Amino acid sequence: MARKSLSPSPLLYPTPVVLVTCVDGKGQPNMITLAWVGVVNSDPPLIGISIRPERYSHHCIEETKEFVVNLPSVEMVRGVDACGVVSGKEINKFDLTGWATAPAEKVTPPLIEACPVHLECVVKQTLFLGSHDLFLGEVIALHVKEEVLTEKGRIDMLKALPIAFSPGSREYWSLGSVLGHYGFTKGKP
C-alpha cells in the first residue's frame, strides 16, 4: 500500500483533552483547554502539561507553581472548545461557560464542578522545550465523583465519558466500545 511521508510532527492520536485551572498572583482563577498532556511517572505520580509561554495560564502557573487537571465529559465539549480559543487575560471563562467551581483540598486553583475527575498538582520541574514549556506536576490529591466509579473503585468509562482529541484533524471524539482489558491475553481476570 502506498504511504505518504508528511513533515515530522508529534502526531500521536488521540490525546486527552483536559481543563487546567490555575490562579494568578492575586488568587484570581482561570482555566485553559490543553491537549498536550500526559502521564510521565507512576511513583511519585507525575503529569506533564505543555503550555506556550504566551498563554495567560502559563504566566499563572509559573508564578504560583500549582494547577488542577480537570477531566471533562462529552457534554462539556462546547465549553472545552471555548476555553481553548479565548484568553483569561481578556475574559472570565467561568462566566463564559457558566461552570461552577469548588475549592480544592490542597492547592489554591479551584475544581470545575461539572468534571468527574480532578488531579491537584504542584509543579516539580519546568522544562523549556521550544514552542512549549513542560510543567511536570506531582499529583498531591485526586478526587473522583462516586457516580463514575465501578463497584471495584475503578473509572467507568461509560459514565465518565471522556473527550478524545485528534491533533491531525483537530476534531473532538467520543470513545467507542471496550476491546479487552490489561493482561487478557494471559487469561488474567
Side-by-side strand order, sheet with 15-16: 15-16, 163-166, 171-174
Using CB under 6 A as the binding rule, whether residue 20 contacts ligand FMN is answered as no
CB of 181 to ligand FMN, least distance (A): 29
Q: What is the DSSP letter of 104?
A: -
Binding mask 46-85 for ligand FMN (x = CB under 6 A): ----xxx--xxx-----------------------x--xx
Residues 6+ apart with CB under 8 A from 95: none
Question: Can you say whether residue 159 is alpha, beta or left, with left for phi > 0 and alpha for psi between -120 and 50 degrees?
Answer: alpha
The SS3 call for residue 63 is: helix
For residue 146, the minimal CB distance to ligand FMN (Å) is 28
- Judged by CB under 6 A, the stretch of 32-40, 107-115, 116-124, 174-182 that binds ligand FMN is 32-40
Closest CA to 93 of 148, 26, 19, 27: 19
Give the residue, chosen from 32, 76, 104, 115, that forms a contact with ligand FMN under the rule CB under 6 A: 32
> Where on the chain is the footprint of ligand FMN (CB under 6 A)?
17, 30, 32-36, 50-52, 55-57, 81, 84-89, 132, 165
